[in-house]
């Protein structure tokens, strides 16, 4: 049995995440993207500069600090993807990157991963067998969704983007947030939970049998941590 902390966007604020998580008795952490995998100020994107810059990740990357429990994360749209590739090639102890379209068995619970945000133009590229390159790796694509649909037997989806029609309105253009492709994925495979970040606000709703939970940013006032007991999940 494991007690898992599902954590919202942290943008490199690993120390704050660990401090908040260990106010509760948890065995491991799963984080929903915008982990903040930057080790150089020169490589920060514009959004990451707004979130107080480079953060703590460089200290864990260099081994100065250690992750005290296993930490799993997907990518958000604010990451250094070259660093993520290096982590995959040479892992950091207790840090596990969950690749898009893949399923991970954690204590008998099957977690599907779908990192990144939605771009209608980039989503369709993979239908033409064109892989996302450079900074455009921040988007999920058609094949990522199809992989999870083919697997089907998934208990929990860990994602960055939210499904369409869950009541989240963009602060910028006042339009409905989310992706219809994500919603269709949930409706087809019906996991027990779907967790996402990206919008920095806590939101809870249901799509059929699936509980959809959006998590706030780690240093914000909105709820940013959800505790999941895998013993309850085993059904």
Over residues 64-81, the pLDDT tens digits come to 999 999 999 999 999 999
Instruction: Report yes or no: 199 and 158 within 8 Å, Cβ to Cβ.
Output: no
The full length of the chain comes to: 235
Domain coverage including residue 62:
3-233
The residue that leads in pLDDT, 62 or 174, is: 62
Reported as a single tens digit per residue, the pLDDT across 101-148 is: 999 999 899 999 999 999 888 887 655 556 677 777 899 999 999 999
Instruction: Provide the b/e sequence for 172-191 (b: ≥16 CB within 10 Å).
Output: eeeeebbbebbbebbeebeb
Question: pTM for this structure?
Answer: 0.94
Q: Residue 205 above 80 pLDDT?
A: yes
Instruction: Report yes or no: 215 and 223 within 8 Å, Cβ to Cβ.
Output: yes
Alpha-carbon gap, residue 30 to 209, rounded angstroms: 22
CATH number at residue 82: 3.60.21.10
Tokens 């970040």 identify what position?
197
Confidence tier at 235 by pLDDT (50, 70, 90) = very low
Reported as a single tens digit per residue, the pLDDT across 39-59 is: 988 787 777 777 667 899 999
Domain count, the chain: 1
Alpha-carbon gap, residue 102 to 163, rounded angstroms: 19
């Amino acid at each position: 049995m494991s007690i898992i902390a599902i954590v919202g966007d942290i943008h490199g604020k690993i120390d704050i995440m660990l401090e908040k998580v260990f106010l509760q008795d948890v065995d491991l952490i799963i984080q929903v993207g915008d982990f903040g995998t930057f080790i150089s100020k020169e490589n920060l994107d514009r959004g990451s500069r707004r979130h107080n810059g480079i953060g703590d990740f460089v200290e864990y990357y260099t081994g100065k600090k250690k992750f005290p429990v296993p930490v799993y994360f997907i990518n958000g749209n604010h990451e250094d993807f070259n660093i993520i590739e290096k982590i995959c090639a040479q892992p950091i102890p207790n840090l596990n990157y969950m690749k898009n379209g893949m399923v991970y068995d954690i204590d008998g619970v099957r977690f599907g991963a779908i990192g990144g945000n939605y771009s209608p133009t980039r989503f369709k590229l993979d239908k033409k067998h064109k892989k996302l390159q450079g900074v455009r790796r921040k988007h999920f694509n058609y094949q990522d969704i199809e992989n999870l649909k083919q697997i089907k037997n998934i208990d929990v989806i860990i994602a960055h983007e939210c499904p369409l029609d869950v009541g989240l309105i963009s602060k910028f253009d006042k339009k409905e947030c989310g992706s219809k492709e994500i919603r269709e994925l949930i409706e087809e495979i019906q996991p027990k939970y779907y967790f996402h970040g990206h919008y920095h606000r806590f939101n809870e709703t249901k799509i059929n049998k699936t509980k959809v939970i959006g998590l706030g940013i780690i240093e914000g006032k909105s709820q940013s941590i959800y505790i999941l007991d895998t013993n309850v999940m085993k059904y």
